[in-house]
Structure formats: structure tokens, C-alpha cells
Amino acid sequence: MGGLAAKAIAHVQRYRQQAMALLLYQSVLETPTGQALLALLEAICVEDSDRCLTAYGHWFRTLATHQHTWQSHLIEQILQSENPFSMQAQRWPIQDLPPALIEAASHDLRLLQALYTCEGQQLSQWVQTVCQIPDAPVVWAIATPPAPVSFPTLPDWAAGSAELATYYRQRGVGVLGQYAAFRWSGHDLVGIPHPDPIRLSQLAAYDHPRRQLLQNTEFLLAGYPALHVLLYGSRGSGKSSLVKALVNEYRDRGLRLIEVPKADLAHLPTIVERVRDLPQKFIIFVDDLSFEEDDDAFKALKVVLEGSITARPQNVVVYATSNRRHLIREYFADRPRPSDQDEVQAWDTVQEKLSFSDRFGLTLTFTAADQPTYLAIVHHLATQANLAIEPAELDRRALQWATRHNGRSGRTARQFIDFLTAELEIGHQP
């Protein structure tokens, strides 16, 4: 082994020792990118030319596939890492954490800072040296956005433990720090990588219920008791879009959305306990809500809305949408008759069904869009889409569309504008 190769291997062995010495942040190296780097470092150390070149190719391909650099990936993993320090820092101020835990985090940050300096150019040169090939392998390089934290610029990363703890407390860790919208899988939260991008500015009409929902959400974000909300009204009026737009508007303030299908409503108490002690605020979103008689989901939702012996967490509210004012279906056969002998207080049962929606603290009504409201929505969307069309022609075509399709509603307006946008763009193409 030549002198240059020996020096390269000595550097690589130091990197491997630093990786193995992590106390809390081992998970940052358990990703495909981290494992590819460790495999490459090991291949360089054993001086196996074929293995070394194969490992470098795998490392390069992994970076290219995920479109990141080793440095940007490492910072991202540090910010998302679920470990005793990050989990406790998420819940409590850093001054309340055990000193040994803070010391361990500072220890790991110094080691991770050393691993951060493992540059692609240097790895390529080491592979060339150890494998004794004429040309160094191609180095992966890509422009990356600046990190949302400043500790990577510090001369000693250990001094950034307080900033990192603040980040964990504000943004969350693990899946909660990575995503803003989730669905319940039956066992845990699953992040939604591409949520509906709808924004509040894209929604028109229904100003009064929108203001009330925003005010209630502001109460939640400020840490005050917020009400559970039922958004009731005509199909296509934008109820679901309004709820989805909230998380896009308030994500940076710690708002998270958990979509729970009706089939999983029995898990609501579990979901609430999962997020109870977290600093983020959570909207449990139930879309198109209605129940049949003796529905177990009805009982689970009732417990969450009314509470139980367990205190209700102030960081969780339920926002549900429905086309029905009375959420539980009632049949004429359900109404008691004097001849019925099955239940003494049968009317009480009927009233319990009919009053279930009253258990929501706030009921917002979205009435069917009349013609002026429908056209106002159309013009709002047309302005956002920068459509070059005369207002009178826009009105004529919008009304014609509503007649031939799904009637007047916000959904119909959106479908019309999407169709018109594509039609006008294609018409302008040479």
C-alpha cells in the first residue's frame, strides 16, 4: 500500500469511527444515503478495487436518485431525527432537559460536523488513489437551498444544540416535522407528501363561515380552547377545500391536519392520545360525515366531542364536513308509537340521534350557491388564472356550463375554469 493510499485510509477510518461513536443520532446514517456512504468508506478501507468502485457507483446513484448532496441530506436527517434529545426537546424547554442528554447531543453534533466535511471531491480522489485508476470518478454536485437553521455555519456545532432544540419544539420531529398533512393508517400517522395545495386566497364567497372557522383556528393556534366544528351544507360548496387550505396557511405556526376516514373513527381516542402532549396543533378532519344506526364510529366520535374521564387536550379539534344537518340517519320506523312496548323513553333515543350535530361547538352552514354567488366565484377564479375573456362572455359560458353539468357550486366553477383555461391555452398555440 502506497503512502497516499495509507493516508486516505487513515482519514476514512476516522470517519468510520466517528459514525460508530454516535450516542443519539444513529438514525441519520440508517437511510439509503447514509448506508451507501458507510459501505463506500468500508470498501475504501479494505482496498478491494472492484468493491470500492461498485460502492462509489451506488453512492453516486443514491445521491442522484434523491437529488440531494451528502451535506444537505445530513442536515435534513438531523432536523427530522427521532431520538431521546429531539423527542424531549419537542415537549419541554432545553433548560428542563437532563444535563447528560444535552451533553450527549452536543457530543453527537461534533461528530456529525466532522462527517459533514466528507466532501464528494475528496471521496472521488480517495477512490482513485486506492483503486489506482487513471481518472477520478465523476463527482455528484447539485445546488441546494439554504438550511432552515444556522448551526451548520458555526465553527463548533455543539454550540447549536439550543437552536436545534428550539427547532424541534416549533416544527416537530420525525414524520411530524416532515409533513403537515397526515392520514390515519389504522395503526399510526402516515405523512401525505403531496397534499392538496389549495390556499385560502383561492376560495371565494361564504365569507361569514370562513371568518368563523379562521377565528376558531386562531384560538387553537394561540393555545386557547377551540371548538369542534361541523361544516354543513350543499355539495361542492368548498367545505373540504376550506379545511385543507388551513394547513397550507398555518403550517409554519405548527398546524397539522389528520384526515381520518369514517372506517377508522373507532381509532379516534388512540389518535388523540398519540398527539396529546405534542406542541403542534392538530385538526382531525372527517370528510362527508354521516352515520347509520348503531354505528360504532358514532360512539367513538361522541367520546372525542364530549370528552370522557380523560381531560380533553387543548391542541386537538375535530373539523367535520357533511351534506346532512342531522348526521345520523333517521327513519319513520324509528319514531315511537303508542303501541310500541320495546323502549319506555323512545323519544329520548330519537332526540339523541337528531341532536348529535349539536355536540359540535360550532356549526357553519354553506347554502347552495345562487346565480350571483356562482358567478362571483367564477370571476374570482378567472382572475387568478389570468384568463383573457370578456366578462359577459365568461358569464354566458359559466351559466351554460352549470346548466349542462353539475349545477351552480364552487366545485362546478372550478371545473369550468380548469376546462376554460386549457381550452384558451390550446386555442392560442400556433
What CATH number is attached to the domain comprising 205? 3.40.50.300
339 and 230 within one domain: yes
Instruction: Count CA atoms closer than 13 A to 15's CA, side-chain side.
Output: 23
Q: Which domain holds residue 66?
A: 3-177
pLDDT given for residue 357 in this prediction:
65
pLDDT given for residue 267 in this prediction:
87
292 and 269 within one domain: yes
Query: In the predicted model, is pLDDT for residue 28 greater than 90?
Result: yes
169 and 214 within one domain: no
Q: Indicate the residue among 331, 348, 365 that finishes a domain.
A: 365
In angstroms, the Cα distances linking 3 to 44, 47, 125, 137 are: 15, 13, 14, 21
Query: In the predicted model, is pLDDT for residue 358 greater than 90?
Result: no
23 and 150 within one domain: yes
Q: Indicate the residue among 365, 386, 408 that finishes a domain.
A: 365
C-alpha cell, 376: 362571483
398 and 279 within one domain: no
245 and 229 within one domain: yes
Q: What is the pLDDT of residues 383-412, one digit of tens each?
A: 988 998 899 999 999 999 999 887 888 889
Q: Which residues does residue 190 pair with via DSSP β-bridges, in sequence order?
A: 183
Query: In the predicted model, is pLDDT for residue 110 greater than 80?
Result: yes
132 and 22 within one domain: yes
193 and 85 within one domain: no
Query: Dihedral of CA 291/296/299/304: which sign?
Result: negative
Q: Tally Cβ neighbours within 10 Å of residue 196.
A: 15
**Average pLDDT of the chain, as a whole number:** 86
pLDDT given for residue 265 in this prediction:
84
356 and 378 within one domain: no
Assign residue 118 a region (left: φ > 0; alpha: ψ between -120 and 50; beta: otherwise): beta
Q: Quote the CA–CA distance of 117 and 126 in Å, as a whole number.
A: 14
pTM: 0.78
DSSP H stretches of helix in 183-295:
207-222, 239-250, 268-275
Q: What is the pLDDT of residues 30-54, one digit of tens each?
A: 999 999 999 999 998 888 889 999 9
205 and 165 within one domain: no
Assign residue 187 a region (left: φ > 0; alpha: ψ between -120 and 50; beta: otherwise): alpha
First to last CA, the chain: 66
- CB of 85 within 8 A of CB of 24? yes
Instruction: Count CA atoms closer than 13 A to 122's CA, side-chain side.
Output: 14
Q: Quote the CA–CA distance of 374 and 369 in Å, as a whole number.
A: 6
pLDDT given for residue 350 in this prediction:
43
276 and 422 within one domain: no
C-alpha cell, 89: 426537546
Query: In the predicted model, is pLDDT for residue 328 greater than 70?
Result: no
Q: What is the pLDDT of residues 250-301, one digit of tens each?
A: 998 999 999 998 888 888 888 988 898 888 999 999 988 875 554 566 667 7
Query: In the predicted model, is pLDDT for residue 345 greater than 50?
Result: no
Strands (E), 303-355: 316-322
Task: Give the number of domains in the chain.
Answer: 3
75 and 9 within one domain: yes
Q: Indicate the residue among 177, 197, 218 that finishes a domain.
A: 177
pLDDT given for residue 226 in this prediction:
93
The three-point CA angle 354-359-365 to 5° equals 80
Q: What is the mean pLDDT of residues 104-112?
A: 97
